Structure 1
Amino acid sequence: MLKYLAVAKILKKHKPSVDNAVLHLHYRFTFLIFVISSAFVTAKEFFGAPIDCLPIKSVPTGILNVYCFIMAIFSVPKHYDKVIGDGVPYHGIGPQLEDDELVYHAYYQWVPLVLFLQAMLFYIPRFIWKQAEGGLFDVILGGLNEPLLGNKEKRLKKHRILCDYMLKNMRMHTAWAWRFFACEMLAFVIVVGNIFFTDYFLGGTFLTYGTDVINFVDMDAEDRIDPMTRLFPTVAKCNFRAFGPSGTVEVYDTMCILAVNIITQKIYILIWFWLIALAAITGGWLIIRAATIVSKDVRGRMLQYRGRVAGPEQVALIQKHCDLGDWFLLYQLGRAIEPTIYAEFLKELAKELENTPPRDETNPMLSN
């Protein structure tokens, strides 16, 4: 369990940064879901041994359990539809012929590791952005988010410093903003990629797993077969092979219980619904992001909303001087600074820009 304690630093409260709620869902909430899920399926104190097989005469129980765990248990699909007690002891378990199709469930050995690695994937956009951003936002913010600013003199001094920075560095934040947008797009690629990777990992059954479970709940009790049991059986078969007294290979048939699959079934239901929702949320946000990139009017409205305390005239004046990168920086500052302090800063900046012609009027090549 110690390896999971190492992620605590990631989950602690961070200082204000260029970020948004959508990325928080990726590198905090989704990361936490996968880490906790990975920890659950490895916690022996909750479920006992990962596998427990019915004993076979002359075969030590410990050896049998290890053998079946490593060599993979299996089910017989032709017995899925049969009634328990009528020829079969459990769904997917029963007599088998040489030509019968067998479904092996080897992936349960890898579930904890795969879940943990998937958690790391969801943190990648955050890690890349932290390296690319280089602490610039925190430097620019200059403590304006701190409560200390009840002191008017200190507040005005910080406004002055920030205004000077903006005036000297107008039109110099575009690449900085695009690096963040790229991380947002990467987050979307990762969540969609995880959906298809999980489907591949689980043998092509994950894409419809959630809908199959929903349909199962609505079916008549006598006709339905639990899709969770098909994908994550709690009882399955194992064939133990050993040499007999004369050297002939003897096959011992046994049944194994995987108690951990009780929670694994529920974990992957949660993951299915969450990944679908997260992909939809992130995709919707990227549409909004695309609108802010291509439309100065959309950016203007968003900045008007963020700086509404400052007044529409001041915000409109500032917007005339901003390109995409400047707008993004100002918008993110509005997320980190208390509204009244942010309004004071915008008014100060508008005052400085009042007698300055917009850059796109003096040089059309710089317009955006």
Structure 2
Amino acid sequence: MGNGLCVETGSSMTVFDWMDHVLGTVQAQVGLRSIYDDDFIDRLNHYYTVILLIIFTVIVSTNQYVGDPIECWCPADFTENRVDYTNFVCWVSNTYYIPMQNQIPVNVENRRQKELTYYQWVPIILLILALLFKIPRMFWKVLSASSGISMDKLGNLAKETQYVSPEDREKKLTHIVKYLDQWLSGIQHYRAGMCVKLRERASTVACCFCGRHFGNYLVTCVLFTKLLYLINAISQLYILNAFLGTDYSVYGIEVLTSLYNGEDWTYSPRFPRVTLCDFEIRQMTNLQRWTVQCVLPINLFNEKIFIFLWFWHVFLAFLSAFSLVVSAYAFMFPQHRKSYIRKYLLLNKLYKTGRTANEKEKRMIRRFVDNYLRQDGCYVLRVFSNNANDVITSEIIKYLYTDYLEKEQRERKEPLDRNGLLEENPK
């Protein structure tokens, strides 16, 4: 299952595998990438998107605090100090937008209904969005900490195994296999309580019967985290809709419609570049109200950033939904887990397909997958495949399978045949 997008792992890379490889290589060169316990779509949510939002925050903040975020056209009799004051007061107070062809309302309250209240807070809202993308990842870290296995450290170890000498590689693989065997043996279900068999069978397809001893705790956490990513991507569209005070949830559709009709899509009343500002100057007992026309250069950046964010959120929502559905389909059907393991055993010549396969081999693989690896074990092996490579995963599965056969032979005190399988019990 490459990056959670296909049930079977093929020899060819998917586009997500290729993107992950390229981005991961770049980050490795600068010392940023150190996450190897999830797939590319999850990293696209909690890692790459956060970096992107931080870059946007830096761009907007630089224009606000280093450049001139607003320039107002003041009367000719305004001194330089008055011009500076006008620019400052119009920036900290809200401007409002009235199209050039429309008359300015006489009623001040009607003007306030057209106010733009967002442009001063764009850096803060971008940082809040970045934090929201991190929340599902925080849930995953907290929940996976109770699984009894350190996914990130184990993933890093599998990643490092690709780049060491053959002697060190054998040691690292032995260490990984031993660690996995202790973990898999330690999560075997304690047979107590009522309806044990029924709960065990229900746990293979229903996450409501979850837990370490059911062998599906990690899988349940993964599906819950992917659901959070999906909810987060969709809900942020409505958060931005409330923040901007406009129909932002249909913004991208309007842009596409403008492109289709050949209209100018680069100018939107949501992000006007020319606005109006009302302010009052008190001189002794006189109170003078001024209305000036201001330019917001910052909205050139805001418009392009929020157009991109609309399409990016829709893209993430689609990928997150696709990843959730495919992952649930792969994890909940035992046949897919068996097919995944059989493929690697076939590469190691520990399994024969077609007519050469016998019932004894099939039965042993079923027991290996259902009773030993179970859902969580298969998920960990898929993480290895996603973040290391198929060669490392193949060797780990080979060692786990041979150790499992030896353990079964010792427990049953039955001899192994020439293929390494248990002899049929004469009884």
Work out whether the TM-score is over 0.5: yes
Amino acid at match of 2:276: K
Q: Is the 8 A contact 2:345 2:398 kept in 1?
A: no
CA offset digits 1:59-105 (Å, max 9, x no partner): 701111111112211012xx36x4xxxxxxxxx6x543338564111
Q: Is this contact kept in 2: 1:47–1:259, CA < 8 A?
A: no
Q: CA deviation at 1:16?
A: 5.2
- Deviation per residue, 1:171-228 (Å, 9 max, x gap): 445323323332222222211111110111111321111111222233365xx6x574
* 1:1-368 equivalent positions in 2, closer than 5 A: 12-15=31-34, 17-44=36-63, 48-56=67-75, 57-58=77-78, 60-76=82-98, 79=99, 82=101, 94-98=103-107, 102-134=113-145, 136-138=150-152, 140=154, 143-145=157-159, 146=161, 147-148=163-164, 150-151=166-167, 154=171, 157-158=174-175, 161-162=178-179, 164-165=181-182, 168-171=185-188, 172=212, 173-219=215-261, 228-243=267-282, 247-304=285-342, 309-310=347-348, 313=351, 316-317=365-366, 318-321=368-371, 322-354=373-405, 356=408
1:319 Cα deviation from its structure 2 partner:
2.0
Counterpart of 1:3 in structure 2 is: none
C-alpha distance in structure 1 between counterparts of 2:236 and 2:187, whole Å: 39
Contact 1:184 1:286 in 2 (8 A): yes
Q: Is the 8 A contact 1:18 1:137 kept in 2?
A: yes
Q: How many residues align?
A: 332
Larger displacement relative to structure 2 (274-283 or 340-349) = 340-349
Contact between 1:35 and 1:116, CA under 8 Å: does it hold in 2? yes
CA separation of 1:352 and 1:346: change in aligned 2, threshold 3 A: same
Deviation at 1:47, TM superposition (A): 7.9
Matched residues in 2 for 1:23 and 1:306: separation?
A: 25
TM superposition score normalised by structure 1: 0.78
Compute the TM-score of the two structures, normalised by the length of structure 2. Answer: 0.68
| Match of residue 5 from structure 2 | none
Residue pair 2:230, 2:317 contacting (<8 A) in 1 also: yes
Q: 1:346 to 1:204 in 2, by over 3 A?
A: same
Deviation (angstroms), 1:117: 1.4
**SS of 2:288 mapped into structure 1:** strand
Report the Cα offset of residue 140 of structure 1. Answer: 4.8
8 Å Cα contact 1:163-1:345 kept in structure 2: no
Give the letter aligned to residue 280 of structure 2: R
Bigger shift: residues 198-207 or 150-159: 150-159
Aligned residue type for 2:105: Q
Query: What secondary structure, in the 3-state scheme, does the structure 2 residue paired with 1:106 have?
Result: coil
- Alpha-carbon distance in structure 1 between the residues aligned to 2:68 and 2:50: 26
* Partner Cα separation in structure 2 for residue 280 and residue 156 of structure 1: 37
Letter in 2 for 1:284: F
Unpaired runs of 5+ residues, structure 1, are 1-7, 83-91, 358-368
SS at match of 1:75: coil
Which letter does structure 1 place at the counterpart of 2:374? D
Return the alpha-carbon distance in structure 1 between the equivalents of residues 49 and 344 of structure 2.
28
> Could you report, residue by residue, the CA deviation over 1:249-294 in whole angstroms, capped at 9, with x for unpaired residues?
3221110011111111100111011100100110111111221343
For the Cα contact (< 8 Å) 1:52–1:258, is it kept in 2? Answer: yes
Q: Distance in 2 between matches of 1:22 and 1:220?
A: 34
Find the residue that maps to 2:272 and give its secondary structure. Answer: coil
Return 230-239 or 297-306, whichever deviates more.
297-306
Higher relative contact order (CA 8 A, sep 6+): 2
- SS of the aligned residue for 1:43 comes to helix
Structure 2: unaligned runs, 5 residues or longer: 1-26, 189-211, 352-360, 410-427
Q: Aligned in 2, Cα 1:143/1:29: closer, same or farther, shift over 3 Å?
A: closer
Deviation at 1:336, TM superposition (A): 3.8
